[in-house]
Each structure stands twice: as structure tokens, then as C-alpha cells.
Amino acid sequence: MRITVVQGDITEQDVDAIVNAANSTLLGGGGVDGAIHAAAGPKLLRECRELREAEYPDGLPTGQAAVTPAGKLPADHVIHTVGPNRHAGQTDPALLASCFRESLNRAVQVGDQTVAFPAVGAGAYGWDAEEVARVARSVLGEAHDGWSDLDEVRFVLHDAGTTEVFRNVFEYEG
């Protein structure tokens, strides 16, 4: 599995799956969630509504992940995961680790081999980008069924500062 770190817009990535830092409603929000829905078009929101009604009537729990088609995006799937909200007292990094782990498990389940992640939790949910990168790196060091089928895990960071933080954690310390 190749691990890459790039600065860019996750909605433009030509990968099998992009991960959305969603909220538990699955009905869209700000940050990367808003950007993904804006770029994917209304079909994604319809898919999210159906998923919510069928499987998560009370919302997608923190630390879990669920897959939909990707609407107009170049990717095939969007993997929605709900990071822990530090501002709501969810400060356990194990919940953040679960987001990365469960997203990769979902990707493998639907046969995706290239997966792009944003810095889940590092925006509105208040996590320090360096902690997010360290948690992600630690999860990628785990071994799970099917993960050897993954070809590339790409971290796509929106701004130069976060990109630098991820580069340092993955390339200089990793």
C-alpha cells in the first residue's frame, strides 16, 4: 500500500473512494462535507437520505463509516465517517482512529483500491492536525483482512500548513 500526501481539493481526486468528514445526520454540513455535496450534486444527498432511513435512523455513530455512490464526482464512492467532536467533549483519539480504520474496512468491502482522506476532525471538530496525522499513521500500521488489496491511501489536505504537518508525520518520521 502506497501512502501519499498531497495538497488539494478532495472532490477533484481521481480515486476509487473519497472519505467525507461527515456529521452523524449524513445530511450535509460545512467544511469538506459541504464541498463534497456541492461538487457531487443532489444525487449524493438523496443517497445519504436513503442510507440514513434504511440503516441509521438515529444517525451514523461517531467512529463508524458508511458508503454511498459519489454522484458527479470522479470517485466511485464516498465513504462517510463521523469524527469525534472535541467541542462536544469527544476527546478520545480511539474514536478518531476508528474513523480511519472503519473507512478503510468499508473501502475494502466494496472493492476499492485507492482511497483519499481529508484531515478528518481537524476542522470544525477541533483536533490538532498533527494528532490527526499521527492517529492516521498508527492505524495504517495495523494489519486487517483485505487491507493488502489496497493500492494507495492518499491524504488530501486543503491548506499548505496542514499539508506540511502530514508530510512531516508521514515522510520524515514515518
Residues catalogued as catalytic: 33
Show the site string, 2-41: x = touches ligand ADP by CB under 6 A, - = not. -------xxx---------x---------xxx-x------
123 binds ligand ADP (CB under 6 A): yes
Q: What angle do CA 91, 158, 156 make, to 5 degrees?
A: 80
Binding to ligand ADP, residues 143-172 (CB under 6 A): 156, 158-159, 162
- Phi first, then psi: what are they for 82, rounded to 5°? -110, 110
Report in angstroms how near the CB of residue 146 gets to ligand ADP at its nearest: 25
Beta strand segments in the chain, E: 2-7, 17-22, 65-69, 77-82, 114-117, 152-157
Report in angstroms how near the CB of residue 127 gets to ligand ADP at its nearest: 7
* Residue placing its CB nearer to ligand ADP in the complex, 13 or 68: 13
Cα–Cα distances in angstroms (integers) from residue 103 to residues 81, 100, 142, 174, in the given order? 7, 5, 14, 21
d(CA 153, CA 167): 14
* Residue placing its CB nearer to ligand ADP in the complex, 17 or 21: 21
19, 40, 97, 119: which one contacts ligand ADP (CB under 6 A)? 119
**3-class SS shares of the chain: helix, strand, coil, % to 5:** 45, 20, 40
45 binds ligand ADP (CB under 6 A): no
**Which residues bind to ligand ADP, rule: CB under 6 A?**
9-11, 21, 31-33, 35, 83, 118-125, 156, 158-159, 162
